Amino acid sequence: MPINAKKARQDALQRVLRVARELSASADLKQILSVIIDAVRDLLEAERATVFEYDAKTEELFATVAHGLGGKQDDADAEANEIRFPISKGLAGECGRTKEIINIPDAHQDPRFNPEFDRKTGFVTRQVLTIPLVSFDDELVGVAQVLNKRRGMFTDKDEEIALALAGQAAVALKRCRLIEDRIMRQKLERDLELARRIQQRSFPSSLPQLDQFEIEAWSEPAEQTGGDTYDVIGFPCEVAETLAAGTDTPVDRALFLMADATGHGIGPALSVTQVRSMLRIAARMDSDLTSIAVHMNQQLCHDMPEGRFITAWLGDLDVATSTLTSFSAGQGPLIKYEAATGACHRTDADTIPFGLLPTVEINISQRLIFEPGDIYAVISDGIYESMNASGEEFGAHRVEEILRQHCKESACGISLVLRQEVDAFTNNAPAADDRTVIIIKRV
Report the predicted TM-score, pTM, of the whole model to 2 decimal places: 0.65
Contacts of 283 (CB under 8 A, 6+ apart): 233, 235, 240, 243, 255
pLDDT at 308 > cutoff 80:
yes
Least-confidence region, from 259-273, 360-374, 426-440: 259-273
- Compute the distance between CA of residue 136 and CA of residue 95 in angstroms, rounded to an integer: 17
**Could you tell me if 57 and 86 are in contact, meaning their C-beta atoms sit under 8 angstroms apart?**
no
b/e map of 28-52 (b: 16 or more CB within 10 Å)? Answer: ebeebbbbbbebbbebbebbbbbbb
pLDDT at 160 > cutoff 80:
yes
Which pLDDT score, from 0 to 100, does residue 192 have?
Answer: 73
Which pLDDT score, from 0 to 100, does residue 258 have?
Answer: 95
pLDDT at 291 > cutoff 60:
yes
For residue 73, with 0-12 CB atoms within 10 Å meaning exposed, 13-18 middle and 19 or more buried, which class applies? Answer: middle
pLDDT, tens digit, for every residue of 3-49?
555 555 556 556 665 666 666 656 677 777 787 888 888 888 899 98
- Compute the distance between CA of residue 355 and CA of residue 130 in angstroms, rounded to an integer: 55
**Could you tell me if 318 and 286 are in contact, meaning their C-beta atoms sit under 8 angstroms apart?**
no
Residue-level length of the chain: 443
- Nearest C-alpha neighbor of 335 from the set 221, 438, 208: 438
Q: Span 92-102, mean pLDDT? A: 93
- Compute the distance between CA of residue 84 and CA of residue 123 in angstroms, rounded to an integer: 19
Higher pLDDT, 17 or 74: 17
Q: What are phi and psi of 368, to 5 degrees?
A: -110, 135
The distance of Cα 17 from the centroid of its chain, to the nearest Å, equals 42
For residue 383, with 0-12 CB atoms within 10 Å meaning exposed, 13-18 middle and 19 or more buried, which class applies? Answer: buried
pLDDT, tens digit, for every residue of 115-153?
887 887 788 999 999 999 998 888 898 999 999 998 889
Name the pLDDT band for 78 (thresholds 50, 70, 90).
very low
Number of Cβ within a 10 Å radius of residue 404: 13
Which pLDDT score, from 0 to 100, does residue 73 have?
Answer: 43
Ordered structural domains, the chain, with CATH = 3-183 (3.30.450.40), 203-442 (3.60.40.10)
